[in-house]
């Protein structure tokens, strides 16, 4: 039997430990957390010094028993769970269980940390163990206790006041508040008209464009030209003053630098994976975990990236040396700065103990391991590798030219142009942008002109614009905002977002969050009655306090005591508040003359009689006064299963046809029948593609032969064969950045071409 027992969290890691550490070590997995608070009142005993009552997680009982059995035969225990607070807590829980079961005796217990799963890193960690950190354990216990106290006490209140199955959370609730407040901001927004004036000009047979910046000696603000009448006046004046030519008054040539982005932290990885790959936060973290735990290369499991839960933008000396060597070999010494690039963390509450996320070996290029990886693993590894290499390359150098052109005294147009003269890091990587972020000007080269030259004026034209509301939060921008406020930890963002969607507080529409009626009501209730606990600054300060505990600067139980005393007073004071989500109306019930009220139901808002249950009148919010939401019978049809009447019903995903004999008969079908798109399915080549709606109301397109053929796409199909890969159908895709394009639906194929939206109408007319 091996002398030493090492515990990790996953079985894949356990196998790797045995390979790297040899016959003196045996390895077992804890399969994540082994203990948690008992799921009932009193798990955190607020009357007795905040003692915490734990119990073994049932599904992991057999794994703990196996660890106990192996420990009886081992001489020493090495706890090698993940190198963060959660990992420290898992190690501590295991230690406590084994101590209670009497299998440790005086055997040495070591805590080991490694940030990459490579032979060198693991063997070095074993040589330099430490003791369990009481500060990290206390910080994690405090976090768990706070989450329990908030969730276990606020959630029942929500069940009572709003509806069953809801939850409130210490970090989840401020995140919901962000989404609701942004939606309210969008709803209140009133667009404002403004115009810009541009000149199409030509010099030395090269056309270019310039924008009006000064008119009649005054610098123009955004709303100075506010309607078409004023725009026409300005255009007329400029044409008269210019008389077909503009005078070059200044030519300003400069060189500017663009610096690379820092290496990935947990937060920036989630943001960029959302922007560039379309990954949800939880998917990015799941795939990153797989890359961290490693893949089989030549019979040996090798971790491809360093630990993926980190706030740090620092890189190890060895890592930087490896990256610089790769840059010199692959991109040339001219792309290597004299000194390594260093970065400062802009995030609140950043913990710099770990490295940034990087490849464990820069020499392991994405194309070298592509055949060993799943597609999503390759995409994320490619993103991490390029970002890491780019962060240590030289800055990009751009030549910029600004030309001022005069159309009569006091009227100035400005043209700007730029050219990348030395791409540097841009050869490898450029950071993505969030929706709603300002577009970079697409500037090309300007013709060589000198001060005093005249250029030909081809046309002066005005362009109408309207101000736009702030964009809805995407996963990327929500994670960015949470981090900016210092709310939560980056490792928890994925679970926060998942909870908001699972509880149906928000929906995702075109990758943007929209609050549901339930989400709005919950947020309103918490904001009105527990304002302190959805306050951004309060939540961020609590994170600061937890970080202080992890550093040994604060004690955890006094923090819990201070929090609980104030929170308990709030809870006691709010037990009898009115139920939220009820708005009294001036309208009377058509059945009993009682007052009607707008209420929140299982499927959103509805209008119902306040005389309920004596009066059962209800109707949909959008229905005309006096109408009833009693199910409408479908004329001329009966249920194909039981021959009862079919009726039109309203569910959480909209209207549908169902059997009137429900729940005895559960037949249902869509209200709208699928529409034939007139395009043959490229997979089975037998059925046509139909337009359907998912249960969430989202349109998709699938083969008419379903379920025999399960081919489906999200984008509208059109006839045509892909000229790149030969796929038998193309689709129409519209995005803010690229407009409407014809694209190949095959993921691996990159074919795109511009598409005239008028062609859609022509196709619809034919079909």
Contact between residue 291 and residue 383 where contact means Cβ atoms under 8 Å apart: no
pLDDT average, residue stretch 231-251? 95
pLDDT, residue 331, reads: 95
What 3-state DSSP class applies to 86? helix
Whole-angstrom distance, CA of residue 405 vs CA of residue 248: 5
b/e for 642-671, b at 16 or more Cβ within 10 A? eeeebbebbeeeeebbbbbbeeebeeeeee
- Decide if pLDDT at 537 tops 80: yes
The phi, psi pair for 357, rounded to 5°, reads: -80, 125
| Catalytic pick among 20, 194, 307, 485 | 307
* Predicted local distance difference test score (pLDDT) of residue 440: 47
**Radius of gyration over every alpha carbon of the chain, rounded to an integer in angstroms:** 32
pLDDT at position 108 is 95
Total residue count of the chain as it appears in this document: 767
H-helix segments, 443-485: 475-485
Q: Is 348 a residue whose pLDDT tops 60?
A: no
Maximum CA extent, the chain: 98
The CA distance from 412 to 415, in Å, is 10
For the ranges 399-408, 422-431, 491-500, the one whose mean pLDDT is highest? 399-408
Residue 92: cis peptide before it, omega within 30 degrees of 0: no
Cross-strand pairs, 195 = 464
Helices 475-485 and 172-188 sit at what angle, rounded to 10 degrees?
A: 120
Distance between CA atoms of 305 and 246, rounded to whole angstroms? 57
pLDDT band at 350, cuts 50/70/90? very low
Distance of CA 267 to the CA centre of its chain: 9
The region of weakest confidence among 222-236, 566-580, 751-765 is 751-765
- Three-state SS at 57: coil
Angle between helices 172-188 and 493-502 (to 10 degrees): 60
**Higher-pLDDT residue of 574, 440:** 574
The pLDDT of 519-545, averaged and rounded, is 89
pLDDT band at 352 (very low <50, low <70, confident <90, very high): very low
Instruction: List CB contacts of 110: < 8 A, sequence separation 6 or more.
Output: 76, 77, 78, 79, 129, 130, 131
The token duo for 672 is 């709208």
- What is the tens place of the pLDDT at every residue in 357-371? 999 999 999 999 999
- Name residues whose C-beta falls within 8 Å of residue 272's C-beta, 6 or more positions apart in sequence: 264, 383, 387, 431, 432, 476
Q: Is the pLDDT of residue 480 over 50?
A: yes
Q: How far is residue 292's CA from residue 308's CA, in Å, rounded to a whole number? A: 7
Average pLDDT of 473-489? 90
Please give the pLDDT value at position 765. 46
CA angle in degrees (0–180, nearest 5) for 710-714-720: 85
**Across residues 123-151, what is the average pLDDT?**
93
pLDDT in tens, 152-205: 888 888 888 887 778 888 889 999 999 999 999 999 999 999 999 999 999 988
Whether pLDDT at 680 is above 90: yes
Ranges 284-288, 295-299, 392-396, 555-559: which has the least confidence: 295-299
Q: Pairing state of beta strands 675-680 and 699-703?
A: unpaired
Quote the pLDDT of residue 668: 86
Please give the pLDDT value at position 185.
Answer: 96
- At 383 the pLDDT is 97
536 vs 529: CA distance, rounded Å: 15
- pLDDT at position 157, please? 87
Residue 64 phi, psi (nearest 5):
-65, -40
User: What pLDDT, on a 0 to 100 scale, did the predictor assign at position 431?
Assistant: 78
Which pTM does this prediction carry? Answer: 0.75
**SS3 per-residue string spanning 300-336:** EEECCECCCCCCCCCCCHHHHHHHHHHHHHHHCHHHC
* Contact in structure between 412 and 249 (CB atoms under 8 Å): yes
Per the prediction, the chain carries an average pLDDT of 89
Residue range 610-627: mean pLDDT, rounded? 81
Confidence label for 324 from pLDDT (cuts 50, 70 and 90)? very high
What's the first-to-final CA gap in the chain, in angstroms?
74
Give the DSSP letter of residue 349: T
Mean pLDDT of 304-327: 93
Note every long-range contact of 344-349, with CB atoms under 8 Å and residues 24 or more positions apart, other chains counting.
344/313, 345/265, 345/311, 345/312, 345/313, 347/265, 347/267, 347/311, 347/483, 347/484, 347/486, 348/483, 348/484, 348/485, 348/486, 348/540, 348/543, 349/311, 349/486, 349/489, 349/540, 349/543, 349/544, 349/547
HEC letters along 269-281: HHHHHHHHHCCCH
Sign of CA dihedral 181, 184, 190, 196: positive
Q: Does residue 307 have an active-site annotation? A: yes
Band of residue 443 on the pLDDT scale cut at 50, 70, 90: low
Cβ(17)–Cβ(29) under 8 Å? no
What dihedral do alpha carbons 190, 195, 196, 201 form, nearest 10°? 150
């Amino acid at each position: 039997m091996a002398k030493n027992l090492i515990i990790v969290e996953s079985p894949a890691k356990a196998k790797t430990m045995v390979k790297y550490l040899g016959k003196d070590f045996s390895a077992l997995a804890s399969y994540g957390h082994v203990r948690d608070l008992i799921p009932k009142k009193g798990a955190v005993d607020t009357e007795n010094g905040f003692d915490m009552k734990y119990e073994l997680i049932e599904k992991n009982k057999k794994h703990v028993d196996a660890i106990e059995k192996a420990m009886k035969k081992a001489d020493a225990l090495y706890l090698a769970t993940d190198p963060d607070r959660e990992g420290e807590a898992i190690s501590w829980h295991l230690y406590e269980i084994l101590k209670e079961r009497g299998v440790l005796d005086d055997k040495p217990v070591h805590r080991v940390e490694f940030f990459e799963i490579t032979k060198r890193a693991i063997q070095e960690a074993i040589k330099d163990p430490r003791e369990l950190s009481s500060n990290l354990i206390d910080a994690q216990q405090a976090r768990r206790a706070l989450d329990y106290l908030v969730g276990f006490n606020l959630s029942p209140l929500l069940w009572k006041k709003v509806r069953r199955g809801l939850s409130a959370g210490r970090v989840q609730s401020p995140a919901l508040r962000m989404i609701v407040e942004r939606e309210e901001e969008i709803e209140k927004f009133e667009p404002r008209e403004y115009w810009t004036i541009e000149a199409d000009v030509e010099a030395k047979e090269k056309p270019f464009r310039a924008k009006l910046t000064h008119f009649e000696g005054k610098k123009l603000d955004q709303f100075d030209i506010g309607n078409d009448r004023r725009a026409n006046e300005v255009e007329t004046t400029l044409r008269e003053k210019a008389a077909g030519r503009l005078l070059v008054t200044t030519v300003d040539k400069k060189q500017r630098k663009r610096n690379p982005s820092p290496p990935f932290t947990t937060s920036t990885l989630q943001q960029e994976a959302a922007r560039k790959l379309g990954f949800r936060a939880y998917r990015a973290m799941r795939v990153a975990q797989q890359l961290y735990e490693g893949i089989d290369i030549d019979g040996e499991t090798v971790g491809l990236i360093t630990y993926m839960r980190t706030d740090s933008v620092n890189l190890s000396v060895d890592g930087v040396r490896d990256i610089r060597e790769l840059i010199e070999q692959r991109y040339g010494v001219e792309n290597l700065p004299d000194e390594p690039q260093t970065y400062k963390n802009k995030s609140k509450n950043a913990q710099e103990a770990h490295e940034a996320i990087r490849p464990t070996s820069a020499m392991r290029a994405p194309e070298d391991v592509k055949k060993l990886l799943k597609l999503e693993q390759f995409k994320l590894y490619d993103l991490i590798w390029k970002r890491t290499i780019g962060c240590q390359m030289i800055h990009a150098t751009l030549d910029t030219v600004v030309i001022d052109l005069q159309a009569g005294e006091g009227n100035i147009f400005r043209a700007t142009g730029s050219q990348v003269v030395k791409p540097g890091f841009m050869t490898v990587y450029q950071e993505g942008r969030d929706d709603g972020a300002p577009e970079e000007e697409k500037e090309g080269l300007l013709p060589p002109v000198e001060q005093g030259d005249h250029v030909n004026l081809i046309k002066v034209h005005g362009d109408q614009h309207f101000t736009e509301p702030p964009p809805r939060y995407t996963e990327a921008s929500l994670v960015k905002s949470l981090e900016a406020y210092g709310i939560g930890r980056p490792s928890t963002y994925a679970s926060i977002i998942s909870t908001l969607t699972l509880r149906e507080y928000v929906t995702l529409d075109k990758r943007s969050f929209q609050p549901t009626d339930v989400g709005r009501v919950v947020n309103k209730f918490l904001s009105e009655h527990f304002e302190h606990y959805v306050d951004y600054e309060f939540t961020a300060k609590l994170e600061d306090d937890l970080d202080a505990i992890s550093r040994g600067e604060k004690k955890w139980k006094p923090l819990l005591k201070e929090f609980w005393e104030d929170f308990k007073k709030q809870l006691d004071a709010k037990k009898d508040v009115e139920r939220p989500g009820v708005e009294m109306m001036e309208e009377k019930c058509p059945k009993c003359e009682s007052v009607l009220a707008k209420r929140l139901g299982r499927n959103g808002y509805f209008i119902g009689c306040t005389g309920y249950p004596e009066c059962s009148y209800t109707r949909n919010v959008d229905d005309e006064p006096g109408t009833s939401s009693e199910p409408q019978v479908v004329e001329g049809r009966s249920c194909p299963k039981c021959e009862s009447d079919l009726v039109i019903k309203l569910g959480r995903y909209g209207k549908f046809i169902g059997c009137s004999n429900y729940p005895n008969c559960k037949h249902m079908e869509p209200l709208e029948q699928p529409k034939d798109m007139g395009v043959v399915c490229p997979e089975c080549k037998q059925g046509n593609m139909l337009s359907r709606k998912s249960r969430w109301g989202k349109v998709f397109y699938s083969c008419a032969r379903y379920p025999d053929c399960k081919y489906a796409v999200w984008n509208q199909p059109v006839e045509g064969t892909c000229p790149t890969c030969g796929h038998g159908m193309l689709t129409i895709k519209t995005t803010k950045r690229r407009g409407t394009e014809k694209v190949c639906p095959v993921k691996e194929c990159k074919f795109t071409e511009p598409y005239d939206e008028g062609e859609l109408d022509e196709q619809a007319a034919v079909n």
